[in-house]
Structure 1
Amino acid sequence: MNTDRISYVRKRLKESQLSTFPKYAHCLGLDLEVHKDVFWDDNDNVTGRWVTENVPPAVGKSVLEIGCGCGLTALFLAKNGASHVLATDINPHAIANTLANANRNGITNITGVQSDLYKNVDPTSQFDQVIFHLPATHVPDDFAFSSMIEHSSFDPGGSVLNRFLRESQNYLTPNGTMILGYNVSRSESTITDKLESLDLPHKLIAKKKITSDGMINLHLYEVWPLPGER
C-alpha cells in the first residue's frame, strides 16, 4: 500500500472542504454551486474542467456519467446538445448537488440517481456514451473510507475499474463507447494493460500532466467493447 499517495490524496480532499458551503463558481458557461462533501478543486477545478473540455461532443446522444460530483460534465453535455444525460454517483450529496445545479442553470434534459456504478441504473437502459473519471488511487479491499467524498479518489483492490469495464458493455447502444478518465500518476501503463487484458479496443484521446511532480497526470481514453461481449 502506498501510504504516501493515500496521505497526499486525503490531504487534498480535506483541503477542499476548508470552505464555507455552498461555494460558487462559474465554469465552462455554467453557474455552479458546490455543496459540502462534494469534491471541487479550489484551483478552478482543474481536473474536472480538463476532463469536461476533452470529452467528445455528445450532440444528439444519450449519455450516462458515473461519478458526477457537482454535475459539471453532465450539465455541460446536457446544455450543449446531448439528448438526455443520466448523472449518477455513489455519494448522495453529489446527486443533490447536480440536480440543484441543473435547476440553477435551467437545464431539464438531465436526471440523477444515486448508484454504486450500475447498481441502481435501469438494466434496460442503453447509452451512446458512458463517461467515468475513475478514482485512481488503489487501496486494499478492506480500506476504511472516512467520508463519502473519499469515494471520488480511492479504488479498493482495483475493483471499481474492473467492474466498470466489465459492466459498461451491457449499457451501451450498438455503436456506443466508454469515455474513461484516469490519473495514471507515475505508471502510464496501468490503464492500457487492463484494457489489453480484456481485449478492449481503445485510443488515447487526450492527456495532461496537471502537477509537476506527476501525482496528477490525466489520460482520457475512448473504449469500444467487442461485439461478442455485449
Structure 2
Amino acid sequence: MMLLPKLSACGLAVGLVLAAPAFAHDEILIKAVVENTGGDNAIAIGHGCEDTHLPIRAQSVVFPTKNPELIASDGHTITDLSEIIGPSVYAGQVDTIQDRNIFNKQHEKHDKLGNAIGFYGMDGRLGTTLQGRVPFQFTAPGFAATSCATALKIEVAIADICDFTAPTIQAGKVNLWIPDNGSQYANLGGPQNIDGIGEPPIFQVTRNLTTNPLPNGCGAGFTVTVRPSAADVDAHLGIPGWHY
C-alpha cells in the first residue's frame, strides 16, 4: 500500500525536473518581437566558467553595429541594412536597465555618434551553476515597405568573464558566446576550446504582415541574419581591464 505514494512522489519530482527551465548557454530571454515595438528583455546567463568553477565577474555585450554581416535566407546579396529597415543604421535600439542583481557597475557602449551599441557590467559575482538575468530594453526597427524581408535574426556577441588575469582568452576564464567569423576573440578562443564560440544568442524581429504586407512579387519573402562583423567584435567586445 505504500508503493503507490512513493511512485507518485517520484513521478512528481521527475516532472518538476523536466518542467524546470534550463539554459545550456547564454540566450535572449524574449526571443521574438514585432517590428516597431519596444519593451524590456534580458540576457539569460546559463552558467559560469565550468572548467574552473569560477563565478562570472563581468559581462560584455555587443549588438550588430555599422558594418554587420548580412545573410539572406534565399542566398541573394544584401549590400546595406537600409535596404531592409529603411534609413536606420542599426538592427534596433538597445538601452541598459539599471540593475545590480549581478553586477555592481554598469556602463553602455556607444559609437562616435552617441548611439548605444551594447553594454557591460563589472564588479559582479554569479555562481558557476546558477542562472542569471541581465535586463535591457530593446526597440525594434520597422521593415522598409519595399523590402521582401519577413524577419531579422539578430545575433549578439557576449563575453562572460570569470578571471581578468592574462592571458585572458583561456577556457575556465571566459565564455565567449560570439560568432565564429574571424575575430581575434574567436581565433584565439577556438584552439582553447572556450565555451560558446559559434553559438551567439539570437533573437528575431518579425514583420507585421497585416500593417506592412509584402509587396507584390515577393512570394513568401526571405529572412535576414544580422551578425556582428569580426571588426565589430574586435573593436567593441573588450572592456576596461579585459580584452584579447
TM-score scaled by structure 1?
A: 0.27
Structure with more helix by fraction? 1
Structure with greater Cα Rg:
2
TM-score scaled by structure 2?
A: 0.25
